[in-house]
Each structure stands twice: as C-alpha cells, then as structure tokens.
Amino acid sequence: MQYAFPLLAIFIWAGNTVITKMSAGAIFPAEIGFYRWLLAGILFTPFMLKPVIAHWPMIRPNLGKIFILGVLGMAVYQSLAYFAASLTTATNMGIILSLMPLMSLAMAIISLGQRLTAGALAGAVLSFAGVLVVVSSGSLGALLEQGVNLGDAMMLIATLAYAIYSTLLKKWQLRLPPLVLLYMQVWVAVLVLFPLFAVSSKTGLTQQNIPLVLYACLLASMIAPLAWMQAVVRLGPSRTTLFFNLLPVITALIAAVVLHEQLAMYHLVGGMLTLGGVILSERWTTVLGRKIVVV
C-alpha cells in the first residue's frame, strides 16, 4: 500500500510530461504555469480555509520554509518543464527526471545522515548512465563536443530543484497535514509566478488548451503532489525518488502512442538502465561497509 502513493504520482506526472509537450505552441509557458496553480488554489480554498485557520499557529512560524518549498517544488520545477517542452522531446524530459534519485541520495547522505546502501549507490549509477545515453542520443563523444541542449539543461535544473524540495520536506518535518502544506505551497507558486505571467505574451484560454490546463491543475498540481508528499513521509526522500526511475519508461510509452515520438535504440537502452536501477535499489539494501547480500 505504501508504494501506491509514489506510483500514482509517477503515472500522473508521466502523463503530464506528455501534456507539457502538447502545450508547446498551444499556450505560452508562463500562462499554463500560472493558470494551473491559480485554478488549483481557487478549487482548494472552499475546503481549506478552516484547516488553514485551525493550523495557523503552526503555519505562521514556518512561513519561510513553506515559501522555499513552494518555490522549489511548485514554481521552479513545474514551470521550467513548460519552457523546456519546445526544445526537447517528452521522452527525453521523462528520462532526465530519472536523475532525481542520484541527486536526492547525495543530499540525504549529506544533510539527513542517511546511510548509504550498496543497492542505492549502484541503482543511482545505473540511472545516471541511462540519462547520459539518452541526452547524448547514444553518442557520448557528441555530448562532450556539443554539450547538452537548452531544453535538456532546463530539465536538469528542474530535476535538481525537486530533489532539493524532497529532501527539505523530509528534513524539516513541518508537522502540518499534507493537504494544508500543499495548499500553502500552491499559493506560493501563484505569488511567485504572477510577475512572469504579467509581463509574458499570452495566448488566452481556448478549446485547444483548456483540457491541458485542467489536467495540469487537477491531476498534476493537486493529486500528484499530495500523493508524493505522503510517499516521502512513509518511505523517505531517497527511496521515494527512486520511483522516478519508472518515469522514463512510462513517459516514453505514452509519448509514442499520443505524440508518435519515435523510440530509438538509445531510448530503449537508457530506459532499461533506469528501470534496472530502481529494481536494484529496492532489492539490494545492505549498508555499505557490511557484507553485501542481495535480499
């Protein structure tokens, strides 16, 4: 049952990665990034006013931390993906996100004192290798010569932002109901993204892009973050972010069906490496420095 939370979030976010790619050309990135959180905040408000008032004594001294979480997990992570969507493929976006375990693992060891397991280390290395295969289009030499394209670089920054978010969420342990914490972060995103929305070009809401906004709002902005926060509480940030290894496989399959993106051999190799990483990390739990046993 504890795995249901991260799996639900991953399936929703895999679909949202495809939705994000579909939004390129249908609505400006600053628009959908702002509209999704504004609509989520409006829909949450009738149900959340009383809980927020009731928990205000706990919220008030933690407003600074809530603001940082909202900026990292809602504004930066989600918005950068919309800007990246016009510059890279949905398949690449999904696979790059699988670097999350490697980033989160390093942060958890440094800031949370988490013990390093052989499986976690090996799984993270496999994930990293898989991402290298994908962003280089199967040619590491070309990657060294040309570097990472701007869209992939944006996704790398977005992934780092969410890895920091997940680690801080566990470290700070704000002792607020997850829904209250999510609601507060939603309004942080609205506040932070409004200036960019105000000065950016606008398409406006149309029959073509309204379904994209609704998916991003209802599923990706409301249900998925709540499920993810529950998973972090139950499993910890490092174990939870390992489920991001499943994201490239699910995203690639959805993108192939919906967007007709072609799966090259390097996508398959990279996907298999990341999938192998999550399996290895979950099954090989011996702490480094002890006798290594596969369980």
Which phi and psi angles does 294 have, rounded to 5°?
-85, 125
DSSP state of 136: T
Residue whose entry in the numeric block shows the structure tokens 């590491």: 140
- Using CA atoms, how far apart are residues 252 and 138, in angstroms rounded to an integer? 16
Residue 49's contacts (CB-CB under 8 Å, 6 or more residues apart) are: none
- Using CA atoms, how far apart are residues 156 and 130, in angstroms rounded to an integer? 14
pLDDT in tens, 242-268: 777 677 778 888 888 888 887 778 777
pTM of the model: 0.80
pLDDT in tens, 115-139: 767 777 787 788 778 777 877 777 7
pLDDT score, position 145: 62
pLDDT score, position 282: 64
Long-range contacts, 152-156 (Cβ 8 Å, 24+):
152/84, 152/87, 152/88, 152/92, 152/96, 154/80, 154/81, 154/83, 154/84, 154/87, 155/80, 155/81, 155/84, 155/88, 155/92, 155/93, 155/96, 155/97, 156/96, 156/99
Q: How far is CA 192 from CA 65, 188, 223, in A?
A: 15, 6, 21
Contact call for residues 117 and 285 (beta carbons, < 8 A): yes
Residues of the chain with pLDDT under 70: 114, 116, 141-148, 237-238, 241, 245, 278, 281-283, 285-295
pLDDT score, position 292: 42
pLDDT score, position 249: 77
- Using CA atoms, how far apart are residues 191 and 8, in angstroms rounded to an integer? 28
Residues in the chain: 295
pLDDT score, position 287: 61
Contact call for residues 177 and 51 (beta carbons, < 8 A): yes
- Using CA atoms, how far apart are residues 139 and 238, in angstroms rounded to an integer? 30
